[in-house]
């Protein structure tokens, strides 16, 4: 590579799942996401059947590595917002998953190339040390490291997409 050539940041992609947003907040969510991505965005909002008056949306994004963190940061701290951001692992970069609920705040975990949660060795060792010989405490510590409380709270909102219309594809031939 020539010395004058700029090194290009790796490309990344992922999905933003807005699991619930009050109607009045939805345009502001689009604005914040657009600002983080550096371009205007429009979401295809639908009603969130789990929470009256709320909307849900999914948005597939592309950007530089680290864009997932920028999106999660742009939406962090909004009281009534439930969301999940994923960033796929890329060549030389780890993936990530950010979960946010009004009650729990934000949770981050690293992911591998197929989207599995990766718990770093130091975190596992710390959980083992804190739990000692108490198996129930080790279970609690590992659930915390996996973000289980966030998954438990978001799961009913994730299933809301099951209520949306489905297009069935049939195999022909």
Instruction: Quick: pLDDT tens for 4-43.
Output: 445 555 589 999 999 999 999 999 999 999 999 999 999 9
pTM of the predicted protein model: 0.84
pLDDT value at residue 4: 46
108-119 residue pLDDT tens: 999 998 889 999
Query: For 42-75, what is each residue's pLDDT tens digit?
Result: 999 999 999 999 999 999 999 999 999 999 999 9
CA separation, residue 116 to residues 45, 95, 97, 111, 119 (Å): 28, 9, 10, 5, 10
Q: Are strands 54-64 and 46-47 parallel, antiparallel or unpaired?
A: antiparallel
- Rounded Cα distance between 90 and 96, Å, is 11
Phi and psi, residue 13, nearest 5°: -150, 165
How many CB atoms sit inside 10 A of residue 63's CB?
19
């Amino acid at each position: 590579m020539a010395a004058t050539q700029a090194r290009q940041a790796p490309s990344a992609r992922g999905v933003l799942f807005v699991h619930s947003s009050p109607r009045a907040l939805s345009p502001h969510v689009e604005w914040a996401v657009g600002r983080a991505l550096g371009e205007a965005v429009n979401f295809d909002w639908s009603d969130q059947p789990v929470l009256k008056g709320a909307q849900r949306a999914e948005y597939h994004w592309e950007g530089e590595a680290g864009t997932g963190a920028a999106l999660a940061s742009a939406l962090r701290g909004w009281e009534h917002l439930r969301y999940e951001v994923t960033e796929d692992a890329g060549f030389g970069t780890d993936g990530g998953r950010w979960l946010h609920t009004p009650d729990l705040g934000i949770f981050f975990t690293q992911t591998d190339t197929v989207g599995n949660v990766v718990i770093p060795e130091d975190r596992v060792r710390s959980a083992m040390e804190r739990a000692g010989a108490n198996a129930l405490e080790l279970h609690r510590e590992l659930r915390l490291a996996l973000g289980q409380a966030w998954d438990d709270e978001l799961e009913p909102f994730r299933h809301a997409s099951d209520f949306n219309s489905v297009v069935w594809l049939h195999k022909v031939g």
